[in-house]
Amino acid sequence: MIKNALSLFILTVIILALFLPSYSTMQDLKLKNLEYSRRITALEEKNKKFEEERHLLQTDPDYVEKVGRETMGLIRPGETAYKIVPVQRK
């Protein structure tokens, strides 16, 4: 009886020693897969925003004007651009 219990215990330890590293690796791979899925979702959302902006830049002249004014400081002929600089205190 004791011999059977000892044999069963040794067999269990051997099985755990063989399969535990594989299980650990599998869990790590599952976590990496989940992280990659999240990154893919974030990149797809970012790509969608870029596509929307591209569409606006190609089709909406008001949006093109807004972007030109905000990012490049463009003005129309006859307009005067003022730049407000905050006062630096000592």
pLDDT in tens, 33-51: 999 999 999 999 999 999 9
pLDDT at 1 (0 to 100): 67
Q: Residue 50 — φ and ψ, nearest 5°?
A: -65, -40
In 3D, which of 85, 84, 66 has the Cα closest to residue 76?
66
pLDDT beneath 70, residues of the chain? 1
Q: Which residue has the tokens 């790509």?
A: 47
Q: Residue 59 gets which letter from DSSP? A: H
Helices assigned H by DSSP within the chain: 2-59, 61-72
**Rounded to an integer, what distance in angstroms lies between the CA atom of residue 28 and that of residue 49?**
32
